[in-house]
Amino acid sequence: MHDTQTIGVIGTGLMGAPMARRIAEAGHRVRAWNRTPDKTETLREHGIEVAHSANDTATDADFIIVMLSSGPVCDDVLLGDDGVIAHMAPGAILVVMSSIPVETARGQAQAAETAGVGYLDAPVSGGERGAIDGKLAIMVGGETDTYARARALFSHLGRDVHVGPAGSGQLAKLANQTIVANTIATVAEALLLAERGGADPGKVREALLGGFADSTILQVHGERMLKEDFRPGGPAKWQWKDTQTAQALADELSLELPVSRLVDGLFADMVAHGDGDLDHSALIRELRRRNGERPS
């Protein structure tokens, strides 16, 4: 992708907007669409065209990037006689970077192949900050030659790894989300334990940095918990969507994942108590509720 290419971006929310900006700043023509039109207006300042419909993003596009909220929403936009895939030029590549079920990705790949369109499922990790800085972890499933054609595009967004055929990217993302969700719960429990035991949880966190208990979650989300800064970098409702998807797949595979099932229940209760739009690190609020506290 050495020459200027046309990139359609479908979904310009928390993640999609900074990703679209980075691609435009790299010198490519970007045409964006979002279900809520207001979220595309500021993109004009970065030279990004605003499409009137999702299908309009496919006009002359070399690549279409999809960053929508769920599998059903992606299918609704992409599939069918009047879906985006039907409007893409043969040989163009569809890159679905949303977190969706594995079987949904495989179904989309089949539809794309029938239409003569390349397909990659390429979910990401790194949150809004990673999208802004171009430091996303990109987990890619799809055909090797299709992946090779997309690598230059991925270079503007972060670090990519090809993990296998279509659907494999989503499997990697589910593994990622399982680690993230379970570790958030563990860090929250550890900080509460320190606090209730009479220690300064901030100092305890500082003491643990660099040891075996250290992690990005302890560093970033632990600090969020201490400061009660729960502005959404990764909204809890989307974390819960992913833990549900992981549990559904585990059930299909007859896998018993007791820790993950418990954490899925914690996020379910968190969302039920009205905290779904907060950052997923706000799970500590749910643990406070379970321990007789009323979160501030």
Alpha helices in the chain (DSSP H): 16-25, 38-41, 71-78, 84-87, 102-114, 127-133, 144-154, 168-196, 201-208, 216, 222-227, 236-252, 258-270, 283-290
DSSP element (H, E) containing 138: strand 136-142
Rounded to a whole number, what is the largest CA-CA distance in the chain?
Answer: 64
Whether 203 is catalytic = no
Would strands 93-96 and 118-121 be described as parallel, antiparallel, or unpaired? Answer: parallel
d(CA 229, CA 260): 25
Single out the catalytic residue among 39, 173, 237, 241. 173
d(CA 107, CA 260): 26
| DSSP code string of 227-244 | HT----SSBHHHHHHHHH
Would strands 124-125 and 136-142 be described as parallel, antiparallel, or unpaired? Answer: antiparallel
Identify which of 137, 138, 144, 139 has the alpha carbon closest to the alpha carbon of residue 165.
144
Q: Structure tokens of 120?
A: 């990659």
Decide: 167 and 103 in contact? Cβ < 8 Å.
yes
d(CA 219, CA 115): 45
Q: Structure tokens of 81?
A: 């006689």
Identify which of 136, 138, 88 has the alpha carbon closest to the alpha carbon of residue 113.
88
Residues known to be catalytic:
173
